[in-house]
Amino acid sequence: MNIWQLFRKLRPFVTPYRMLIVATLIMTLIGSFAAQVNALTLQYAVDSINRLVEAGQGLNAGWSILITITVVLLVKELISAIVQFGQKFYGIKLRILVSQDLAQSIIEKFLTYRLSFFHQNDNQAGKLQTRIDRGIGSLTTLVQIFFIDILPLFTSAVIALALMFYANFYIGLTAACIVPIYFWLTYKQAQRLGGWRRGLRDAREKKSQGIIGIIESIAVIKSFNREPIEAQKQLKLQKEMTENQMHTRQTSYVFDSLKTFIEQIGIVLIIILTAFFVLNRQMSIGMIMYHVLLFNNVSAPIRSLHRIYDEVNDAMIYSEGFFKILEADDEIEPSGALQPAVRGEFSLSNVDFYYPNGHHALKNINLTIQPNKITALVGLSGAGKSTLISLLDKFYTPQSGSVRLDGIDLNDIDTRYLREHIGLVLQKNHIFQGSIFENIRYGKINATEEEVMTAARKASIHEQIMQLPDGYAADALLLSGGQQQRIALARMFLKNPPIIFLDEPTASLDAIATEQIKHSLDQIKHGRTVIIISHSLSQIIDADYTYVMQNGEIAEHGEHEQLYRQHGAYKEIFDAMAKSLNIDKISKTFDEQVTH
């Protein structure tokens, strides 16, 4: 991405604040003319005082000159202070507003992306966060640099250069010749540093992801005493970043030294050339200071150019990642326009699905989920059960085949409308930062307090909530894993949808809580389409129909008794579940209890 492409991409975010830009431009123009006052005043002072000295006049004759200089310079400084305040205030205000819009736009945009976008290796949480934060920071810094640094400096430089040409063509030409050399060196510097900067960006993203990984896995790391290994991983990454930074600094210092040398050569040439014209009586002695100060205004942006160019290049590099996220239109979740009445019959025909990493998760799936029935998905871990539910909830779209609801392709149904009619409870449900009340109410934003409490009672969590010091106002993140699972169930009960997907809904609960939740689920299941993934024998037996999955394929399907008599995969899984519960001893215990 080059600078012009970057400005075009930024333009929609800056355009709404055009009045701020106009105000900044006016301030810049006034400030640029004010910056030349010192040179003009110094020329006037030197030439006027020189004439008085040559005429043999002293202080009495020069008071008017001193008063004039004082008034002019004080007024100039007052104007400059006002202008600088205006430039900085409007520039910072523009930066803050653009930063707000950039942040909001990317949040709104990637909330529309399909789930597969967030499961790509390059889009891990830490990498996305670094890319977004640094992208916004760099882009808004670029806006500020342009209106506070680049625009004032270069406007002043252009006016100063025009005055030099007006005073003497050759001196102006000398000053003008220095500028492109300096620009060329800065351009070559940016070319050399581009690859190193991208490497540094990638290293920072890996570092951020690594830190998040350590925080998320700290219990496992400590339990296996793997602190030294994790520290070594981070040390290796730190050393790579250090080497990258050293190469960057070394290259920068070489080019900065060359640019400083070129600038000093320019100052020497200006002084020599001006002195020649003064000695040749083509200029007054005051023109020496006049041209030196004007060239200082021309070289000021040159002196700042390497810093500005570094920041611009940083902005360009980090903006690549930022705009790659913002403009990933091919990742937008597909959504149809239809909003049909929902009965709850799902049908999959010849469905194949691959994850972004290439894993073939579902292979030629053909099945029908009957409305108002309970359908169980049974299989070993990795068989494709959760993936199948993700397709039904339109989190993913298959590479081939079709997924239909009540005979209508899911791609033709409005996604928001579809999900309003589906309740999803996962094995590990997300609890948001906030109170218990807010987390349950997430299932129905306008729910009353009584409705929230009723949902909590159905999820067998109300009594435990009431025992907390803050009750429903307590922080939901402080609850145990099992309690958080019941909060997620309460959220689903509150939503009260006609279709329910249950993916190991009681996996994190104890036996008593599991029985309580099962009773609540039994109540809500009636008259709804329910798909359940579970390793609970009771929940599988209660299903009206069962599909057995192996390696992404449908191995068997039918009712419980029918499947068990086939002596296939279902019987093998069912018997393994029964053995894991030690059914023989449990039965013996019950028999002894009946006998006594």
Residues 496-549: pLDDT tens digits? 899 999 888 776 666 776 777 677 677 677 778 999 988 777 778 888 899 999
This prediction has a pTM of 0.66
CA distance 208 to 211: 5
* Mean pLDDT value of segment 66-89: 85
What pLDDT is attached to residue 306?
Answer: 61
User: Across residues 191-219, what is the average pLDDT?
Assistant: 73
Q: Which of 280-294, 320-334, 467-481, 571-585 has the highest mean pLDDT?
A: 467-481
Dist CA 302 CA 29 (whole Å): 19
**Can you give the pLDDT at residue 586?**
65
Provide the pLDDT for residue 69. 84
For the chain, state the CA radius of gyration: 36
What's the pLDDT score for residue 408? Answer: 93
- In contact, 557 and 387? CB cutoff 8 Å: no
Please say if the pLDDT value at position 584 is more than 70. no
Q: How far apart are CA 267 and CA 275, in angstroms?
A: 12
As given in the structure block, the two tokens for residue 51 are: 């004439």
User: What pLDDT sits at residue 155?
Assistant: 79
The pLDDT of residue 125 is above 90? no
* 33 within 8 A of 346, measured Cβ to Cβ: no
pLDDT at 440: 92
Q: Indicate the average pLDDT of the chain.
A: 82
557 band by pLDDT with thresholds 50, 70 and 90: very high
Could you tell me whether strands 374-379 and 360-369 are parallel, antiparallel, or unpaired per DSSP bridges?
Answer: unpaired
Structure confidence at residue 596 (pLDDT): 57
Alpha helices in 393-459 (DSSP H): 415-420, 436-441, 449-458
| Of 379, 343, 340, the residue nearest 362 (C-alpha) | 379
Condensed to tens digits (0 to 9), the pLDDT of residues 56-71 reads 777 777 788 888 888 8
- Whether residue 79 is predicted with pLDDT greater than 60 in this model: the reply is yes
SS3 call for 327: coil
- Of residues 278 and 438, the one with the higher pLDDT is 438
Predicted confidence band of residue 283 (pLDDT cuts 50, 70, 90): confident
Q: Which pLDDT score, from 0 to 100, does residue 38 have?
A: 80
CA-to-CA distance for 193 and 189, rounded, in angstroms?
A: 6
pLDDT 10s digits, 483-495: 888 888 888 889 8
Is the pLDDT at 594 greater than 60? The verdict is no
pLDDT given at position 43: 79
Q: What is the mean pLDDT of residues 561-565?
A: 89
Higher-confidence residue of 219 and 389: namely 389
Q: Percentage of residues in the chain with pLDDT exceeding 90?
A: 16
- Look up tokens 């043999």; give the residue: 56
